[in-house]
Amino acid sequence: MFSENHKKSGCIEVVCGSMFSGKTEELIRRLKRAQFANQVIAIFKPAVDNRYSDVEVVSHDFHKITSTPIKDPAEMLKIASDVQVVGIDEAQFFDASLVDVCQQLANRGVRVIAAGLDTDYLGKPFGPMPQLMAVAEDVQKVHAICVKCGSLANHSHRLSKSRDLVVLGEKDIYEPLCRDCYNKARAAEE
C-alpha cells in the first residue's frame, strides 16, 4: 500500500521502429491498458499528421484513440494536474524541445509514452528520437517484416522520388525492408 505522501515517480517510455512495425498499435495498447486501470491520460500527436484523422491517433490496422493535435511540444505542459499518463504519437515530427518537455512531465510524476520512427527514409536518426531514447527509462524497438525477403525489417524505404524529409504516406509511398534489401534498393536508386 502506498502512503498518501508517496508520489509515483514518472518515467519516459519510447516505442520506436520502422514504418509498419506496430509502433502506434503498441502506443494505443499501452494507453488503453492505462484507461482500463482508471488512470487519467492525455494523448498528443503532431498537427501535421492528418493521414487518417485530424483528432485521432490511428494505427495502420485502423485501431484508434482520441488525441489532441499540437504544433509545439510545450503545449503538452498545459495538461491537467491529475493526468497520470501522456501518450505521444509520431514523436519524430516534433522539434528537439520534445525531449525537455518529456523530461519535465516525467519529473512531475507523469508516465510518458512516445512512439515514433527512429530513422528517416535515408536511414539517419530522425528528429528528437535519439535524444529521447537516451533519456528514457525504457526503449522498445519493434520491427516490421521485410516485404522483399521476410526477414525482420528496420528500414522505411521510400518508393517516391521526393527528397523532402517529411512525406506523409502509407504503403503507396513506403515499404519496410531489412538492412540487406534496403542497401540493395538504395544502391539501385543511385
Q: Per-residue b/e over 91-103, b at no fewer than 16 CB within 10 Å?
A: bbbbeeebbebbe
Spell out the long-range contacts of 139-142 with Cβ–Cβ below 8 A and sequence spacing 24 or more: 139/13, 139/14, 139/16, 140/13, 140/14, 140/15, 140/16, 140/26, 141/16, 141/17, 142/15, 142/16, 142/17, 142/21, 142/22, 142/23, 142/26
pLDDT in tens, 111-167: 999 999 999 999 999 999 999 999 999 999 999 999 999 999 999 999 988 888 787
Query: What's the CATH code, domain 11-143?
Result: 3.40.50.300
Say which of 90, 137, 170, 189 is annotated catalytic.
90
Does 170 qualify as catalytic in the annotation? no
pTM, to two decimals? 0.89
Q: What is the pLDDT of residue 4?
A: 44
pLDDT in tens, 11-40: 999 999 999 999 999 999 999 999 999 999
Q: Is the pLDDT of residue 57 over 70?
A: no
Residue 186 CA to residue 129 CA, distance in Å, equals 23
CA trace torsion 12, 17, 22, 23 (10° rounding): 30
